Structure 1
């Protein structure tokens, strides 16, 4: 009997299930205390604002437009609003530099499709956002380690390593872009300082590659000094967005609502023009009514919503950090993020976080994400990610002590 899986393209071998998506299924079990998914708290969604927006859109003269096809670039008033937001970040641009995506995840997929030929190299941090690896994997790249804080890899070494993969003389063999989450990174929670951002731009200029700046968490700063976006620094040094090499990926998911799937890319027009072609071949456009609703809600409550989330998530971060300090045994360390959604925990090297997870779910009814999933080479087995956005009082007062007890037991047994 014919087996259709034998007909799959070679890229199918690189498609893997998301460990995070599998762990999210645990949220349906009420006794599980989950620090796993980087999920916004639904209790904080601006539901009334969205209810009013959808009622107005469907009940008024604009209903036909809300239910009709949309241009592939995205709803123009929303792109104009985003251009003003980017301007406040120091990026002078207009709606022609903005492209609406079905969540920022689609943006990463499109950029991988646009830049990567099989065997090309993507520079990523170790660890990095798992969703980015999943998006890029389909285009069969190799990965090299991006060390924004400084490392011993020279531009020539990066270039030589990339070209060593070019075997057939036809495709691949070039470094194409550096990808990073510079603000409150997923998964580590760390923020890259200005010098590190300038260093990434220097390296990209030496290699002649693009920079993909994933800014999904940028608005969620609880404390500390704001750092200019990489795109803002790029525009300042290059003379404007049309000469910039940085592609800025933003999202409304973490601030307004993830279920509407509205994200964006800010980039030179030449890049936007190509992205439009990919959109036309993919899903034509992101849903018109969702874009229009996002625009209405963003115009009215965006700033207040950001402040509301910062207050709530900042308090939850503080409580989680205090619980880790009070209960975790010696030999365990963790990041102390100034914003975002995540704390990165490093266990003693003898421990395996994946094995610990199985025991944590079975015995302690606590879930987290093992760190190896965020490493292109599967290293980092002694690390794990904790999300604090849903970390209520029960999670902190019961979940962390239970997890700490299991870690202490594992250390003693190692």
Structure 2
């Protein structure tokens, strides 16, 4: 037998399975009401628009081009749509500022590869997106906390980064309807992040897959738009914007993008060339056509559905959660973050909930690089209709209430 463990790189020891990907297996069990997967509802995908786009491409003169290798930067037609989209968000840019990636998850991996050496520090919100922690973790960084409740000065971050063996390379955050909390940074908080990054001379990674899923309130300018305004344009900006079509049109085509200064994009293109040469051209060409034809109308229609489901979950939480339970009230996105009563463990509650109530969620500790958040959980409302949400939250509330009662009896 080959002693594989002795052959793996040291960084392989930092790789961990995604709790969320494992929980997605529960979706195949019809009797389980799952609030675990942060995925869009497949019944809402614009399937007919994609069917027409693929038929038009493969039945026309561009079939050969679409089935061939492509440039690493991405399809020019798709990049031009992204440029127009970014301009709608207040970011003046050109195709040279765009790299098309195989989903925004690949974008995060490339950014980690480009910026992080072993011992460098990545600043992250706590809690933060589990997939980002996994993507960055392979490059052996230290993680430090960013955002509410920290109030650290730049000098403190610099000192801790030096102790870890490197420097602060970037601040990573999802400012709109974040996964997992559903929270959104206001204008002042965004400006504070950019100010801190300026003091640290580090990059800012703006992960924005949920930006288009707004149900309430007025949009807040993106970090990249604010950065461009303050610095004089995208070529002087320190922010890298990661966008995605996965939550708006289709995750199955695996299409995302990075928008940043052209010098940074040129470096990322080299990583793309060495990684997978190019994102599938056929998928890019189909996405460009669908985005051109239905993006605005489709987003509006799906947002109406998700808003109703969010409202149903918030109302159900009010009705069924026991005293001592608190939760966020997001203005968009797919998630509600729940703080459980003191002393309750989310992982233990999940096992009990699946066994007793056939309800699944994601325990909150998975979203912390340091294992905090044991008494929290993430609920997703995107794939359950209001009736199923009501049933599932009622069951979950009963399980939590029983756990509280049991703990009180044990303490007595």
Q: TM-score range by the shorter chain?
A: over 0.9
Partner in structure 1 of residue 254 of structure 2: 261
State the Cα deviation string for residues 269-296 of structure 1 (Å, max 9, x = none). 0010011100000000000000000000
Distance 1:111 1:393 in 2: 38
How far 1:15 sits from its partner (Å)?
Answer: 0.4
SS at match of 1:385: strand
Partner in structure 1 of residue 152 of structure 2: 153
User: Conserved in 2, the CA contact under 8 Å of 1:176 and 1:209?
Assistant: yes
Distance 1:315 1:251 in 2: 23
How far 1:394 sits from its partner (Å)?
Answer: 3.7
| Of 397-406 and 106-115, the range deviating more from structure 2 | 397-406
Match runs of 1:40-79 below 5 Å: 40-79=40-79
Distance 1:350 1:413 in 2: 12
Distance 1:316 1:411 in 2: 27
Show structure 1 runs of 4+ deviating over 6 A: none
How far 1:6 sits from its partner (Å)?
Answer: 1.4
Partner in structure 2 of residue 389 of structure 1: 382
Distance 1:278 1:397 in 2: 46
Q: Which runs of 5+ in 1 are unaligned?
A: 167-172
Match runs of 1:99-178 below 5 Å: 99-147=99-147, 149=148, 151-166=150-165, 173-178=166-171
Distance 1:337 1:243 in 2: 33
Distance 1:384 1:393 in 2: 20
Matched, 1:333 2:290: no
Matched, 1:344 2:337: yes
State the Cα deviation string for residues 168-208 of structure 1 (Å, max 9, x = none). xxxxx111000000000000000000000000000000000
The TM-score with structure 1 as length reference comes to: 0.97
Distance 1:42 1:3 in 2: 43
State the Cα deviation string for residues 347-393 of structure 1 (Å, max 9, x = none). 02210010000011111100000000000001100000000001213
Distance 2:390 2:83 in 1: 43
State the Cα deviation string for residues 41-60 of structure 1 (Å, max 9, x = none). 01100000000000011111
1:202 to 195, 198, 201: 195
User: Conserved in 2, the CA contact under 8 Å of 1:369 and 1:385?
Assistant: yes
1:369 to 340, 362, 365: 362
Distance 1:163 1:349 in 2: 36
State the Cα deviation string for residues 200-224 of structure 1 (Å, max 9, x = none). 0000000000000000000000011
2:240 to 238, 243, 247: 247
SS at match of 2:164: coil
Distance 2:357 2:37 in 1: 18
| Of 395-404 and 186-195, the range deviating more from structure 2 | 395-404
Distance 2:268 2:304 in 1: 36
CA RMSD of aligned residues (A): 0.8
Distance 2:169 2:285 in 1: 34
Matched, 1:318 2:317: no
How far 1:61 sits from its partner (Å)?
Answer: 0.6
Partner in structure 2 of residue 216 of structure 1: 209
Partner in structure 2 of residue 290 of structure 1: 283
User: Conserved in 1, the CA contact under 8 Å of 2:381 and 2:389?
Assistant: no
Partner in structure 1 of residue 177 of structure 2: 184
| Of 314-323 and 393-402, the range deviating more from structure 2 | 393-402
How far 1:79 sits from its partner (Å)?
Answer: 0.5
Matched, 1:400 2:393: yes
Distance 1:90 1:150 in 2: 30
Distance 2:242 2:271 in 1: 16
Distance 2:149 2:387 in 1: 40
User: Conserved in 2, the CA contact under 8 Å of 1:128 and 1:186?
Assistant: yes
SS at match of 1:213: strand
User: Conserved in 1, the CA contact under 8 Å of 2:249 and 2:295?
Assistant: yes
User: Conserved in 1, the CA contact under 8 Å of 2:161 and 2:167?
Assistant: yes
SS at match of 1:226: coil
How far 1:22 sits from its partner (Å)?
Answer: 0.2
Distance 1:258 1:123 in 2: 27
State the Cα deviation string for residues 21-68 of structure 1 (Å, max 9, x = none). 000000010000000011100110000000000001111111001100
How far 1:150 sits from its partner (Å)?
Answer: 6.1
User: Conserved in 2, the CA contact under 8 Å of 1:44 and 1:309?
Assistant: yes
User: Conserved in 2, the CA contact under 8 Å of 1:320 and 1:391?
Assistant: no
Partner in structure 2 of residue 170 of structure 1: none
SS at match of 1:260: coil
User: Conserved in 2, the CA contact under 8 Å of 1:209 and 1:245?
Assistant: yes
